[in-house]
Structure 1
Amino acid sequence: MRSHRGVGDAAISAVTVLALGSGAWLLGNGAQTHAPPQPSAAQGREIARGEDTDRSPTDPAAARSSAPALPPSPPDRIRIPSIRVSAPLMGLGLTRTGSLDVPPAERKNLAGWYEAGTTPGETGTAIVAGHVDNADGPAVFYRLGALKKGSTIEVDRRDGGTALFSVDAVEVYDAKAFPDEKVYGAARRPELRVITCGGGYSRTTGYQGNVVVFAHLTGSR
């Protein structure tokens, strides 16, 4: 991930794109064969004429399907059934340099959420991040780029409920052209971003960008 101008109550100043996976394991296994899937153009957002491309994806039908916001409650687990993700969530803060911290790389089935910002299900933009791989192989969000529009993301909350999100778009961005406001900007409804490394891969520098999932709240149980 890169920088942004502000999320929730705190600002993330600079988050290196290499923090969520270096692709080191690919060097011994062949990057072309084992590289994580990347989203196709068909999974990206549809941009209407004159629309501000730095804003979050907003489809009229998706807006009508949005559920009322939930009260704030920290999340405990994220599940994405279609890509076989079920992982606990830890709180992530900021490093001394102002960048978002990341889950320990050695715990490959662990994701994190930005706990100084919006909790998943309340009004605003909630952020979840996790590694695509570690030195030993695929990690929690290795298949994130294979996610399709309309897929369901479930987030278990500490209040005993589960927030249900529907995927609006899955996009990949080069690190040099990361749309900060589009990804991290405030939302008027409950939205979720799930982020990992992706894009082109270099043997010298690792992944060159990020895969970002855009989703909105459709219900709870």
Structure 2
Amino acid sequence: MRTNRAGGRHGTPWRAAGAAVVLTVAMAGAAMLGVAMRPETTAPPPQPLTQAGPTPSADRADPDLVPPSEEPRDGAAALPRSQPTAVSIPQIGVHARIVPLGTNPDGTVQTPPLEQADLTGWYEPGASPGETGNAVIVGHVDNRNGPAVFWELGALQPGSSIRVSRADGRTLTFTVEAVRSYPKTDFPSTLVYGPNDRPGLRLVTCGGQFDRSARTYLNNTVVFATLAE
């Protein structure tokens, strides 16, 4: 049995027929639909399906993660928008292609196909990696065949490096600031999808205990990172 240091994956649920590992994040308002949205929007951020509502007021506070300030902080300069094409995390052996994702008709965020669990997905309505704001990349932790692309995501530590290649030819390096595990019923929507005065990156997958009756994980593992200078 392997353990996720940020909340853990327990057992081997991919051996249970039909086990599906998906990120269930709902949109908080119709304004979030479509691909024209940019980080400067004031629309409410996406929330977990069980937390969907008109405001993100139920978000958990995290004293180690400071919300955006009114004044820009020092750091790497933001870049123009460009689609990410690949993510590399040498520490955990991730070298994966990134596909753009939108939302489903029911308002949930799309995920990469479960049968292509080596893919990651970029939440296209949000910021692109390198833009001011939080770029969000999601990936499966496993499927019925075994570990998937973000199986070891919770093993990352502050200071770890994440490299993201973009369509404009740039490869950006992000530095991990924190790794957290949150119950899906208490997902920190604003910290993940909300505004940021710096170019931020959020990696999200499933984690925690696997509920065999519901065939889903109870938590989400979230990696918080910022563009390195």
**Normalised by the shorter chain, which TM-score bucket?**
0.7 to 0.9
Q: Tell me which residue corresponds to 1:211.
A: 221
Q: Can you list the C-alpha shifts for 1:111-164, whole angstroms capped at 9, x where unaligned?
A: 000112110011111010000001100000000011111000000001101111
Q: Are 1:114 and 1:126, in contact at CA under 8 Å, matched by a contact in 2?
A: yes
Contact 1:11 1:98 in 2 (8 A): no
Contact residue 54 and residue 179 of structure 1 kept, 8 A: no
Tell me the amino acid that sits aligned with residue 217 of structure 2.
Y
TM-score (normalised: structure 1):
0.74
- The structural deviation recorded for 1:71 is 1.4
Q: Does structure 2 retain, via aligned residues, the 8 Å contact 1:129–1:195? A: yes
Q: TM-score, normalising length from structure 2? A: 0.72
Among residues 101, 115, 125, which one is paired with 1:106 in the alignment? 115
Contact 2:27 2:107 in 1 (8 A): no
Q: For residues 166 and 177 of structure 1, what CA distance do their matches in structure 2 show?
A: 25
Q: Which of residues 67, 77, 82 is equivalent to 1:55?
A: 67
Aligned AA for 1:217? L
2:104 is aligned with 1:95: yes
Is residue 197 from structure 1 mapped to residue 197 from structure 2 by the alignment? no
Question: Where does structure 1 differ by over 6 angstroms across 4 or more consecutive aligned residues?
Answer: none
The answer to whether 1:123 aligns with 2:139 is no
Per-residue deviation, 1:47? 2.4
Q: Number of aligned pairs?
A: 182
1:2 equivalent in structure 2: 25
Change (3 A) 1:134 1:11: farther
The structure with the largest helix share of the pair is 1
Cα RMSD for the two superposed structures: 2.5
Match of 1:179 in 2: 188
For the 8 Å contact 2:139–2:149, the answer to whether it is kept is yes
CA gap of 1:97–1:46, structure 2 versus 1, over 3 A, is closer
**1:82-123 per-position Cα deviation (integer Å, ceiling 9, x unaligned):** 011000000001100111101001112100001121100111
Letter in 2 for 1:122: E
